[in-house]
């Protein structure tokens, strides 16, 4: 693949990114010159042993994790983003591709800009035939994340950055333009690739064609084919928007940036990040939370969940040496706003879901139990406590696939 001509929307994006870079560059120069010798704090042996936990050593422009307000995209809280970003027709959820525009430019895009961006993503979405053949030939029992990583690497020969670098065609000041080209193509292709993996593994290779009239996230939901309602498209948009970025220190983002710092192109870099995301301590958390909720409901044996019952259940769980997934966060010190946004959506769209009712009671019962131990700095629910519940309600019950959805979202931020 070679981009033969630059579309108007890509030209607009490049102009806006360059303008933002021109604005930010003097700030970086000044910061380095005037504050470069100042310390950001002490580093202890325990921090090093703990994998750099608590060490301030990274700069993140696109997002910031506030301990009380949660993740911010370019200074806007997720609640503000959800309200301000353009939406699908008759939709209430800020479009994730609009969030990507915001992260790239520090501007809320117009409806027409998002429409043009979606047209551009559709223009780039077609997978090379050799990638399709590779994915279709993989064993159906191979984990979907393994298949996704292989598919991303298989796309690497299409990299504009790699081609230009090998040809000696780039100045250092132009690197970002080729990275942007690859980034846009990767974001365009990953829903197609991921949906193909899903339909191969779980639906005997019966595929649903891309609908280019739909937005990026709505089309992804459409191609999954588990539910053709507008509500499923909306919950998919919501999930992809709130998971799009999370500073640069988490495993998948840090890995992507680290590999990219060697001038590895975005396909190499993000496939490495996807491998980190596949780990049980990172991307698998939402399915672990869903499994815990399901097991808890079975243990209750049909009893209506109450705060009293769940309080005792939580105490018994901790006393047995087990953990309660979905509660706590390494940096947050309050309820994860992503959890709150999902809960608001769920209560409006799926109020009678039995797992939602259980999750709601858990929200009341479990934090006091965790607080009482004196060992937990944040006893409140995080995003994983509810995201799997929302997916399964609309028929996306294939838990091994949940991390792939996470990866589709994180392609925009990494």
Neighbours of 363 (CB within 10 A): 21
Which residues form the catalytic set? 282, 329, 384
Instruction: State how far the Cα of 395 lies from the Cα of 226, in Å rounded to an integer.
Output: 6
Burial 143-173 (b: 16+ CB within 10 A, else e): bbbebbbbbbbbbbebbbbbbbeeeeeeeee
Neighbours of 344 (CB within 10 A): 13
Task: HSE, CB side, 13 Å, CA atoms: give it for residue 398.
Answer: 19
Contact 356, 235 (CB under 8 A): no
Looking at the DSSP assignment, which residues form a beta bridge with residue 73? Answer: 63, 76
Burial 184-205 (b: 16+ CB within 10 A, else e): bbbbbbbbbbbbbbbbbbbeee
Neighbours of 349 (CB within 10 A): 18
Query: At which residue do the structure tokens 């806007």 appear?
Result: 76
Instruction: State how far the Cα of 307 lies from the Cα of 309, in Å rounded to an integer.
Output: 6
Query: At which residue do the structure tokens 């365009």 appear?
Result: 188
């Amino acid at each position: 693949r070679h981009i033969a001509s630059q579309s108007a929307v890509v030209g607009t994006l490049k102009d806006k990114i360059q303008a933002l870079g021109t604005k930010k560059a003097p700030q970086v120069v000044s910061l380095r010159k005037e504050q470069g010798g100042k310390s950001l704090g002490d580093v202890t042996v325990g921090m090093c042993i703990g994998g750099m936990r608590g060490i301030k050593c990274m700069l993140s422009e696109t997002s910031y994790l506030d301990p009380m307000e949660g993740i911010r995209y370019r200074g806007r809280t997720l609640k503000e983003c959800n309200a301000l970003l353009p939406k699908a027709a008759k939709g209430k959820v800020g479009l994730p591709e609009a969030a990507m525009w915001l992260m790239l430019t520090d501007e809320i895009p117009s409806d027409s800009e998002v429409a043009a961006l979606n047209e551009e993503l559709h223009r780039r979405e077609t997978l090379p035939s050799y990638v399709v053949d590779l994915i279709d030939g993989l064993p159906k029992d191979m984990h979907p994340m393994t298949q996704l990583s292989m598919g991303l690497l298989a796309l690497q020969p299409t990299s504009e950055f790699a081609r230009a670098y090998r040809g000696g065609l780039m100045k250092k000041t132009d690197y970002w333009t080729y990275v942007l080209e690859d980034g846009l193509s990767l974001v365009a292709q990953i829903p197609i690739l991921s949906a193909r993996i899903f339909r191969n593994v779980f639906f005997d290779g019966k595929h649903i064609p891309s609908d280019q009239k739909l937005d990026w996230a709505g089309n992804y939901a459409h191609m999954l084919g588990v539910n053709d309602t507008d509500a499923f498209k909306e919950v998919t948009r919501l999930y992809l928007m709130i998971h799009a970025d999370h500073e640069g220190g988490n495993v998948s983002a840090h890995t992507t940036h680290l590999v990219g710092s060697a001038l590895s192109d975005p396909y190499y870099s993000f496939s490495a990040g996807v491998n980190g995301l596949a780990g049980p301590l990172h991307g698998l958390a939402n399915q672990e939370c869903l499994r815990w909720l399901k097991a808890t409901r079975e243990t209750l044996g049909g009893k209506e969940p109450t705060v009293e019952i769940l309080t005792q259940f939580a105490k018994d769980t901790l006393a047995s040496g087990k953990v309660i997934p979905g509660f706590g966060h390494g940096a947050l010190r309050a309820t994860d706003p992503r959890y709150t946004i999902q809960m608001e959506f769920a209560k409006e769209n799926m109020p009678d879901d039995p797992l939602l009712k259980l999750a709601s009671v858990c929200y009341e019962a479990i934090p006091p139990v965790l607080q009482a131990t004196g060992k937990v700095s944040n006893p409140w629910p995080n995003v994983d406590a509810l995201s799997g519940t929302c997916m399964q309600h609309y028929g996306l019950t294939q838990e091994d696939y949940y991390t792939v959805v996470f990866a589709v979202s994180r392609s925009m931020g990494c």
